[in-house]
Chains A and B, each alone.
Chain A
Amino acid sequence: MTCILQCENLTVQYEGNIALSAVNVSVSAGKMVGLVGANGAGKSTLVNALAGWSRGRAMVTGKVLLEGQGIDGLAAHQRVQRGLTLVPEGKNIFAELTVDENLGLVRPPQDTAGRHIFRIPDVFEFFPRLAERRHHKGAALSGGERQMVAVGRALLAGPRVLVLDEPSAGLAPRLISDLLSRIRLLVDRGLPVLLVEQNVKAALRVVDHLCLLERGRIVAEGPADVMGADPRIVEAYLGTLATGDRS
């Protein structure tokens, strides 16, 4: 299967402190890979390093490959232009711009080969709620609506791969399930997705492959159904109820 996004020996340090240590991850075409772990495990550090983006002073070493080509020397905006789009955790849209303006900031790619092309009507079809709110400023949107705008913006950039950092953070359970199943629809249409999620139960429902990150290292990975039964995952993230053991 074609590997779209891959990192090799990715290491990230913040002022000498190692946040991520020699991590290898790959995302193939038409697959959704989940990345789970506790707070501070290095999940956001990993996806930000893949995107070449950081609000801190990260020192990144290792290789990042997009469709086999090294992109680790590129700035974040150049990686977006190449088709690696990240929806970061927390603030991910412009509060002072309307939904239309947020979406209009993104330039569609010139070279469409290998890209998943979406236009603004496609985004509104995918998230009908946004069509109703298109003239509202980002600051006036709910958390779920902001996530929709952020995902919509990432889609308009014509992604080769979509990287989502905790899209469910702060959302009601029903909205989480709705958002993740919509993203799964995109994967089923062929778009590869790397999903960082703290809600392991919700992630396991939609991902094909799961990686468990602990203290900056991948400590376990495998197909979602296998990982769902992994004692480390069950014990730390799902609890006994998830396995059906109600005794």
Chain B
Amino acid sequence: MNIAQQIVNGLVLGSGYACIALGWTILLGVARLVNFAHGQLYMLGAFATWYAMTRLGLPYPLAIIFAIVALAALGALMQSAMMGLVMSQNLTSLMIVTLGLGYVLQGGSALIFGGNPQTLPGTLSRAKVDLGSLWFTWQDVLVLLATLALYGAVWLFTQRTRFGSVIRAVAEDPKLSELFGINARVVYLCVFVFECSAVALGAALVAPRSPILTSMGFNEVIMTFVVVVLGGIGSIGGALAAGLGLGLFIAFFGAFIAQAYTTAAAFAVLLALLVIRPAGLATK
């Protein structure tokens, strides 16, 4: 058993989890909203990238931008439709509505893109790096570096800018924020658009690693949920650490115990940690 390779696999997997979870980290962690269509948005982001590359003939970087813009527009539409629920912070209804929306997106995508698996051509996922007994792809390196850079940028944005404070204020009390001259509706719209854009970026970076299907998304939303809760809701650094930690755990669990039970094992870890540290890993 190559331990070093498992560490690489874990970091590759974990950076993917963290990358996909970035939007949710802001949505749930900072703005205290939920979107259980996140997994289907990931699927749509992957297909938007695939469509831009294979049908529109765009190069990979432009296809990423295409996917981000397409999902940002979809996010704005979704948010406008759900504004009443969002303003009242009705999380139960939001959960049900977004779950339903996820199924609608999945069904719609199957109609448009079909049920066959597709692959994203012309990315870095086939550019392999061999370092003796270790191997990874340049796409893996891109995902890891992009994830670290994005989390750093988002942390700086939320903690060091006025708009970051505005998002945290609206999340704490949207009614009170109005008395500070803040239009809470616009803030929620921006947060939701960011979540959709971030998941599109995550999909465009992570999806080239494996074939994409319109039925995918459930596993991604589950892992995103684990990452955000495990990291401690509201903690951006915690979500990054949880994503990487979860990837390492799954890589080792899959290699040493059983690949088939990795998701169940991840939830077992989540449950155990929530018993020990109810507010997540990143709390004092």
Contact = CB atoms under 8 A, between A and B. Distances in A.
Contacts of B173: 91, 94
A86 interface: yes
B180 interface: yes
Interface residues of B, number: 17
B169 A97 contact: yes
Q: Which of B162, B177, B180, B183 has the most CB of A within 10 A?
A: B180
B166 interface: yes
A53 B165 CA distance: 22
B232 to A, nearest CB: 14
A51 B168 CA distance: 23
Interface stretch (A13-21, A101-109, A207-215): A101-109
A101 B165 contact: yes
A80 interface: yes
Given A91-B173, A105-B162, A53 B181 contact: no
A80 B168 contact: no
Interface string B158-190: 000010011011001101111111111000000
Nearest to A150: B179
B177 to A, nearest CB: 8
A53 B180 contact: no
A53 B162 contact: no
Nearest to B179: A86
A157 B180 CA distance: 8
A92 interface: yes
B176 A105 contact: no
B178 A80 contact: yes
A53 B179 contact: yes
Given A53-B175, A96-B172, A105 B183 contact: no
B179 A76 contact: yes
Contacts of A86: 179
B175 A77 contact: no
Contact of B183 (A77, A93, A97): A77
B254 to A, nearest CB: 39
Interface in A183-197: none
Contacts of B175: 53, 55
A107 B173 CA distance: 18
Given A55-B175, A157-B181, 11 more contacts: A51-B179, A53-B175, A53-B178, A77-B178, A80-B180, A86-B179, A94-B168, A94-B176, A97-B165, A101-B168, A106-B180
Across the A-B interface, give the 6 residue pairs with the lowest CB-CB distance, nearest first: A80-B181, A76-B178, A101-B165, A77-B178, A105-B180, A94-B169
